Amino acid sequence: MTAEGLSALAGVILSLAFSYVPALAPWYEKQTPTRKRGLMALLLLLVAAGALLYDCRGNAACMAADWQKVVSVLIAALVANQSAYLLSPTK
């Protein structure tokens, strides 16, 4: 699986978890919109970093030289996350 695919899958899982997991969804719903966006952005950045680490297998030269890949991995996570949020039914 590519880093983009992995981050997209994680983005979808995050979106669905914050919408439907019983203990997590009510807590997330109580947060302010700014805090929700900040938390999701932080988690998606961590997802992108983790996917890139997985793809490069810890090779520092790979991670440092390929900043375009970082951007594409983050965009894949963002698009998948927001698509899942918009397409999933509300309670």
Per the structure, the count of domains in the chain is 1
Q: What is the pTM of this model?
A: 0.82
Which amino acid would we find at residue 77?
Answer: A
Residues 83 and 79: their CA atoms lie apart, in Å, by: 6
Residues 36 and 28: their CA atoms lie apart, in Å, by: 7
pLDDT digits (tens, 9 = 90+) for 11-69: 999 999 998 999 999 999 999 999 999 999 999 989 888 877 887 776 777 767 677 88
Say how many C-beta atoms besides its own lie within 10 A of residue 50's C-beta.
Answer: 15
Question: Which residues span the domain enclosing 44?
Answer: 3-87
